[in-house]
Structure 1
């Protein structure tokens, strides 16, 4: 009879935990929907993601087709955002450039997040390794992120892949510091101490108890760093260290357009606006997520 009672208690506990988790994220979603800034940011990002994905449907000019009889044409009905020095349609190149820029941000944040979360958890949970990991992060943080990315590209070589790796490395310290601080706060909780006393293995404690409880700051940081990564990748391309012609990356488009600023202002203005709007969208969404996922904010 006792065994039957025990077997009935455990599912009930899991049901309560799942219900609490659903309730928390449901409340967070309600708070996020009420945040006008977050909704505006999300709408901006959704717009750019959809236009980048469906670029072949939304444009009728080949992205790299050169038409020398239509060079430096201003915005018109035929070319909504004008043409460049080779007669290529700027509108088309911006849509396809969104694929490159958003991919660079996604890859950079994915690499930085994976490595940063791993190192942050190790540093926060195993205090004997904390000093060594954080000293390395302090060294990386001593350099401005863009300057460090430039140095890494100088070592690895110019190119799109190396630029993504460089941006990822420059972002890793931010993840490590945030994750470490969150782990330090959670590891002293009573349920963690109880799990240790029961002999639960460290990796199970980390996966089942620590990571779910520090997910909120990681999500917020990843959202904010997405915009930072896109901006850094665009800066590298602008300096000629990232995407190379004829890749229609936004930073590279701004770089090319600056040589024709007095003749064809549209070559610089519209790619620059695309970068600004996407970064703004991620910042607005990140701020909204921070407010929605923080239980202390009512």
Structure 2
């Protein structure tokens, strides 16, 4: 039987993200959360492998205690168990340290795994880095942006679209794939399944101590990536009515917005305007 691991993440489902201005990190403990959409496609890919070939599925996530909810939702969809990595020492980790922490947990809790599945990216950061970094941390082969997977003995046959052509790849297990959102449309859990998952699902909570992790190597302090500034883009709009000849309107536009137009384009347009005037 295949031993599958699906890495999922809880992301906020709010338009105004609650940021901590001191650490420049998301206040995940107070944001309403959901399973990252991309992770749902990875979970569905694992569920289809389970139906086709027989498999045992472990879902794993790192986050605050409330992230347990998405593990129970995954169990309602068909996962066999969940692992929650939660510890204040893990908070604020960038993608590199997140990958490191996940890898150590997988090695300790899921020895002998066959395949790790991840979403291609998350809606709260869009870096698409954790999957490839996790491959490196685990020391296994992998492929990103995979659209379809099939199994032949111990070889995974994968398809993915690259530019204008379709690639077919083969990889011996164990390995890791990141799944795109083009296929493997997520299913929906039944009410009975949700009730059963929230009552009986096999969920383990692990701290840094449980994993024997050095706290100096995890969390925000160990993360080499530093966020310098976080802000919401301005939604203000202003309507300006310009009157006069075409030349006057163009001159006014350059006067008001010239600094927002690249220097090269601005110079080219100005030069073209002068050449036309010289010809006249």
- TM-score of the two chains, using structure 1 as the length reference: 0.21
- TM-score of the two chains, using structure 2 as the length reference: 0.21
Flag the structure with higher strand content: 2
Flag the structure with higher helix content: 1
